[in-house]
Structure 1
Amino acid sequence: MGRSDTGVLRLQQALEVGSFAITAEVMPPRGGDVSRTLAHARLLKGLVHAVNVTDGSRAVMRMSSLAVCKVLLEAGIEPVWQLACRDRNRIGLQAELLGAHALGIRNLLCLTGDPVRAGDQPEVRPVNELESVRLLQQVSAFNQGLDPVNGLLPDGPTDLFAGAAADPQSPSWSGLKSRIMRKQQAGARFLQTQMVMDGDCLQRFVDEITAPLGLPVLAGVFLLKSAKNAAFINRMVPGANIPQAVIDRLAAAADPADEGISIAAEQVARYAAVAQGVHLMAVKAEERIPLILERAGISSRC
């Protein structure tokens, strides 16, 4: 993993040439020891094009995504840095972008960020000076060498490969289409979706919205561990919509954890014919991602 022989990021190269791309997610530690997160990421080396590091997901405190990305980079693992607008003002976000470039981190997922009321410190005051579209615009400006105050950056431009999030199962199709167009115009080079449980919805999303814009899509696949886990996600995760049929399948399984792996593998195999890639999410079970890819029959694509 890391840079290709041509010096281009593997994820960027795969997406730009039309190859099937695979990313997976790891969670930063809740403490000062990064060894467990690094061990999870190392299991994915050679199986995925890049490893995505969450940034305060669900408004829960964890180690800096940027710091973990640097650790992964030093271990020869290409990271995707998530950057949420919730916790930083404009100057803070600008500083982080310039710092990431200096550290050699190039892949970036621009996010608005989950609301603090969803987290474990709901009394925290959010910032939200920018949101994902304006953050993408700032990345594009820095890549062009534009100073946010006046003229050109005196110490040179950045070279960041920025993407954005999307929810193909959004209840407002017109609103979804409008927002994706705004993200593309702001500089998004790829889209990473929330978990997708409806393949037909993903197909329509690609056919009607992203393909005409030339935006590659990484379809989100979430590993479910049990019927109880699926029901919890439906209650607690904004936008989650796991069908009852899937919950019933997990409930009826002799080994729900193994059934969850099979469900995820089936989704990966189906989405491979629709999207340009998949993004695998296996919260606190990252060691199962290689088995998902093996069952989907695509473990040798990277």
Structure 2
Amino acid sequence: MFDTNHHASNTWLPAPSSRFRVAAQSGEFLITAEVMPPKGGDPSRMVQMARQLKDWVHGVNITDGSRAVLRMSSVAASVVLLQHGIEPICQVACRDRNSIALQADLMGAQALGIRNILALTGDPVKAGDHPSAKGVFDLESVRLLKLIGSLNRGIDLNHQPLSDGPTDLFVGAAIDPQCASWSGLQSRFERKLEAGAQFFQSQLISDFDQLEKFMNQIALDCQKPILAGIFLLKSAKNAQFINRNVPGVTIPQHIIDRLDRATDPLQEGIQIAAEQVQLARQLCQGVHMMAVKREDLIPNILELAGIAPLAKAEVVR
């Protein structure tokens, strides 16, 4: 028989406060990095990569079916990181779940100790490895931001109270300062800001003049941290692949030429990424590091850019 007089809440221990949230709200220069969940049931490689980032970043992004390619659930992968003492930023995309499932996963994330969410619309199904799957898109990123704000106030999407308590999720959104439509970029950014985004992570930045223009003209008074996307280019071929396959991103020819001329293209890519981190430090409030399958090199990039591990930086303060 179940003891109906026992209340689980009496023994429920809250998750520790979010290091990322505290840093964001205190005005620190933020550093995040992206790691993909495994394609399968063994998370050991993901954990290995994330462990190497732990002392260098405020949070590790866990992607949610990025490019519509099948991977482990971002919520499950985020919990695995928490079990290893690594703070996740759990991406939640609208493509694969209706509004009921999204709310269920967000409440579940709260219960499991996840505190940081990046709200995304999600890439089109046809772009991925299961093109015959059905996209849901019951919501999109702006409505998802509003939904999370509502859950944080203890109200569901149907305007009913959450009888077992609100969530406490620190939610952010994606931006693309290189968007071809300047008015569209401004409108979308302002809508996400009004919907409750507390931080912004950008797509891969290749045009830092455009980033500066965005920061000075659109984001000047937003008072929320903006993290510039820094991508490790491993070779000229890698850069050319991005130019062909990533909409809205154009790696400049002079960068491709540097990689092509280099005797060690990977080391040159590390140098380029470090230079870009230094540029970003002058323009915005943080960097979001991406180094697909070579996340272990992110500390090298940050060190070359003059950024100390977080523990050492905190001692200096």
Q: Fold-level match, TM-score > 0.5? A: yes
The separation in 2 between residues aligned to 1:54 and 1:34, in whole angstroms, is 14
Tell me how far 1:240 sits from its aligned partner.
Answer: 2.0
Indicate the larger mover: 277-286 or 193-202.
Answer: 193-202
The separation in 2 between residues aligned to 1:201 and 1:12, in whole angstroms, is 27
Q: State the partner residue of 2:10.
A: none
Structure 1 unaligned blocks of 5 or more: 1-6
The separation in 2 between residues aligned to 1:222 and 1:169, in whole angstroms, is 15
Is 1:137 the equivalent of 2:146?
yes
Q: State the partner residue of 1:226.
A: 235
Tell me how far 1:239 sits from its aligned partner.
Answer: 2.3
Q: What per-residue deviation string (whole Å, max 9, x for no partner) do you get for residues 144-197 of structure 1?
A: 111322442111111000000000011111110110110011110000000111
The separation in 2 between residues aligned to 1:213 and 1:96, in whole angstroms, is 29
| 1:156 match: secondary structure | coil
Tell me how far 1:28 sits from its aligned partner.
Answer: 0.6
Q: 1:94 aligns with which of 83, 90, 103?
A: 103
Aligned-partner residue type, residue 187 of structure 1: G
Tell me how far 1:273 sits from its aligned partner.
Answer: 1.3
| 1:225 match: secondary structure | coil
Q: State the partner residue of 1:216.
A: 225
Indicate the larger mover: 198-207 or 219-228.
Answer: 198-207
Contact 2:147 2:156 in 1 (8 A): no
Is 1:39 the equivalent of 2:44?
no
Q: What per-residue deviation string (whole Å, max 9, x for no partner) do you get for residues 72-112 of structure 1?
A: 01111110000110111111111111000000101000000
Tell me how far 1:57 sits from its aligned partner.
Answer: 0.6
| 1:212 match: secondary structure | coil
Q: How does 1:139-218 map to 2 (within 5 A)?
A: 139-218=148-227
The separation in 1 between residues aligned to 2:302 and 2:43, in whole angstroms, is 25
Q: State the partner residue of 1:4.
A: none
Aligned-partner residue type, residue 278 of structure 1: V
TM-score (ref. length: structure 2): 0.91
Indicate the larger mover: 169-178 or 147-156.
Answer: 147-156
The separation in 1 between residues aligned to 2:213 and 2:159, in whole angstroms, is 42
| 1:33 match: secondary structure | coil
Q: State the partner residue of 1:120.
A: 129
Q: How does 1:249-288 map to 2 (within 5 A)?
A: 249-288=258-297
| 2:173 match: secondary structure | strand
The separation in 2 between residues aligned to 1:24 and 1:185, in whole angstroms, is 26
Q: State the partner residue of 1:3.
A: none
Tell me how far 1:301 sits from its aligned partner.
Answer: 4.1
The separation in 2 between residues aligned to 1:151 and 1:300, in whole angstroms, is 45
Structure 2 unaligned blocks of 5 or more: 1-15, 312-317
Is 1:240 the equivalent of 2:249?
yes
Larger Rg: 2
Indicate the larger mover: 141-150 or 99-108.
Answer: 141-150
Q: What per-residue deviation string (whole Å, max 9, x for no partner) do you get for residues 44-96 of structure 1?
A: 11111111111111110011111110010111111000011011111111111
Q: What per-residue deviation string (whole Å, max 9, x for no partner) do you get for residues 185-218 of structure 1?
A: 1110000000111112111211222231212101
Tell me how far 1:17 sits from its aligned partner.
Answer: 1.2
Q: How does 1:53-72 map to 2 (within 5 A)?
A: 53-72=62-81
Contact 2:180 2:248 in 1 (8 A): no
| 1:280 match: secondary structure | strand
Aligned-partner residue type, residue 107 of structure 2: L
TM-score (ref. length: structure 1): 0.96
Contact 2:39 2:72 in 1 (8 A): yes
Aligned-partner residue type, residue 284 of structure 1: K
Count of aligned positions: 296
RMSD: 1.1
Tell me how far 1:221 sits from its aligned partner.
Answer: 0.2
The separation in 1 between residues aligned to 2:213 and 2:107, in whole angstroms, is 37
The separation in 2 between residues aligned to 1:51 and 1:147, in whole angstroms, is 28
Aligned-partner residue type, residue 102 of structure 1: A
The separation in 2 between residues aligned to 1:150 and 1:79, in whole angstroms, is 29
| 1:146 match: secondary structure | coil
The separation in 2 between residues aligned to 1:150 and 1:84, in whole angstroms, is 22
Aligned-partner residue type, residue 274 of structure 1: L
